[in-house]
Amino acid sequence: MFLIAATLLFFGLSLASLYVFPSGQPQPADFLLLGFAALMTLLALGDRRLTVSSFALCWALMVLWVLLVCLGWALVMESSAFFIYPAFYFFNFLVGMALLRFLSVSGDMGRSLIRNALSIALLVAASQVLLQLGAGANRTTGSFNNPNQLAYFSLCGIVILMLLDDFRPPLRPLMLAGVAAAVVSMLAASSLGAMGGAVLVGVGWVVANMDRLRRFARLLLVAPLILAAVLAVNLRSDGQVQSNLQARMDRAQSKVENVYEERKFDRLANFPEYAILGAAEGERHRFAPYHNSEIHSSYVNMLFAYGVPGLGLFLAVIFLALRRAPLYVWLGVAGPLIYSLTHNGLRSTLFWMMLAICWHIYGQGWIRLKDVVVDVPGKPELER
């Protein structure tokens, strides 16, 4: 049964960048990941050593609060439109818990599986990007429904690949190809926020590898390879990537000036009372004339939709995942977190998987890699 679960996880991650149906609807990868979560849950039922971590408890409380807020508004407004939103949170929670269980029993094999599957997913996304660039597209979407989804997926993907090897990845061809594909996708999507986040990931990568000359030399070798891949794509598309970036840079000032209205922050300013316990997501006609589209910020959306308790629990989940992590991990994970200031990534499964992996590697007070000895207070030295 474990082998079946591992297979479902591999194909679920490999196809994660392939969108077939419209946004908001389950995609092929979601069914595979749901099967993975179900099998891992069944395997965990007979384990008497299974414990509930503070990270899992806080995450579960956040999902429960989301459900209660949506249920309350569904009863008040007599509408079932609210129930789709807690389904996203519950699905991501199940996948995250299953992933933690999988990593705890699979060791290096599990990390290798995730690394390879995610690299394939990034390559699948980039293949669609190349086709769209060849057709003269301005901002590419891959197989996603908009450029921001592509950019966010690529950014979270790079961070996960870095986390799996403590930001010191060896030179694996498939992994390097995945990182290069993610960089190309972000540039082709022309997302300024994602590119800024990618810079932070790069800074974290550099900081993590500065302690040893051999690691830093490896980094100096990888950087030109990624740059060469980007230049090759730009030349093959007749400079389309460069022109897209230039157009976005020209609009940067106006986007900053209009961020309040464009990101729908004015909804919170005009209906601040909902920030106490939350307005839930759905039935936005309540907020006319500030009701068009969702709030484009994970934090502001969490505050407006689920109030101070929801935002507090969300921030607590992030803090618990990162609190024992070294500085370079904080820098790397800051990329998606800062990107989320002006984009709503709460429904992205890859984002929650990133936090789960971060907790698994760092949040429990110890990590195991090959050539480092870590002295954790209260525990014997552990080789990693």
pLDDT for 136: 74
* Residue bearing the bigger pLDDT, 340 or 193: 340
C-alpha angle 112-99-114 in degrees, rounded to nearest 5: 20
Give per-residue pLDDT as tens, 19-37: 888 777 889 999 999 999 9
**Residue 291, number of CB atoms within 10 A of its CB:** 13
CA atoms of 36 and 7, how far apart (whole Å): 8
pLDDT for 247: 65
pLDDT for 141: 87
pLDDT for 110: 94
- The answer for residues whose C-beta is within 8 angstroms of residue 1's C-beta and 6 or more apart is 39, 42, 43
pLDDT tier at 209, thresholds 50, 70, 90: confident
pLDDT tier at 381, thresholds 50, 70, 90: very low
Give per-residue pLDDT as tens, 152-187: 999 999 999 999 999 988 888 899 899 999 998 998
Average model confidence (pLDDT) across the chain:
86
CA atoms of 3 and 7, how far apart (whole Å): 6
213, pLDDT greater than 60: yes
CA atoms of 203 and 200, how far apart (whole Å): 5
Give per-residue pLDDT as tens, 124-139: 999 999 888 877 777 7
Give per-residue pLDDT as tens, 219-261: 667 777 777 777 777 666 667 677 766 666 666 566 665 677 7
Give per-residue pLDDT as tens, 248-304: 666 656 666 567 777 788 899 899 999 999 999 988 889 888 878 889 899 999 999
CA atoms of 291 and 287, how far apart (whole Å): 5
327 within 8 A of 134, measured Cβ to Cβ: no
368, pLDDT greater than 50: no
pLDDT for 313: 97
